[in-house]
């Protein structure tokens, strides 16, 4: 039985995978398609990838994670009445 020969597309994709590339599929609006293609092109171009990554990370970086304790500590509490009346509950007959 003769072995199957790989298609030129499969060979191309295997070569790109060895080079560290990953194939990604996205769905975008028609007017954004050329923009996404240019971004992908810049990220794969060795002369432009550093600057492209820097710009994208600055614009779309994940905000630093803040713990609930730190968030509450930084909350402005001016003007908020934190005192409450002492409630002793109800009388219970035994």
Give the pLDDT score at 83: 80
CA atoms within 13 A on the CB side of 22: 3
Residue 53 maps to a domain:
yes
Give the pLDDT score at 50: 95
Residue 82 maps to a domain:
no
Give the pLDDT score at 63: 81
Residue 26 maps to a domain:
yes
Report pLDDT digits (tens) over 6-33: 899 999 999 999 998 888 999 999 999 9
Number of folded domains in the chain? 1
Residue 84 maps to a domain:
no
Give the pLDDT score at 31: 97
Domain interval for residue 43: 8-62
- Tokens linked to 3: 């072995």
Res 66 pLDDT > 60: yes
Residue 51 maps to a domain:
yes
pTM: 0.53
CB 53 within 8 A of CB 43: yes
Give the pLDDT score at 91: 83
Give the pLDDT score at 42: 95
């Amino acid at each position: 039985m003769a072995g199957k020969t790989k298609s030129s597309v499969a060979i191309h994709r295997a070569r790109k995978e060895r080079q560290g590339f990953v194939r990604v599929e996205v769905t975008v609006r028609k007017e954004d398609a050329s923009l996404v293609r240019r971004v992908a092109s810049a990220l794969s171009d060795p002369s432009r990838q550093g600057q492209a990554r820097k710009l994208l990370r600055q614009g779309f970086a994940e905000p630093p994670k803040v713990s609930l304790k730190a968030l509450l500590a930084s909350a402005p509490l001016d003007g908020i009445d934190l005192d409450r009346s002492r409630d002793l509950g109800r009388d219970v007959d035994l």
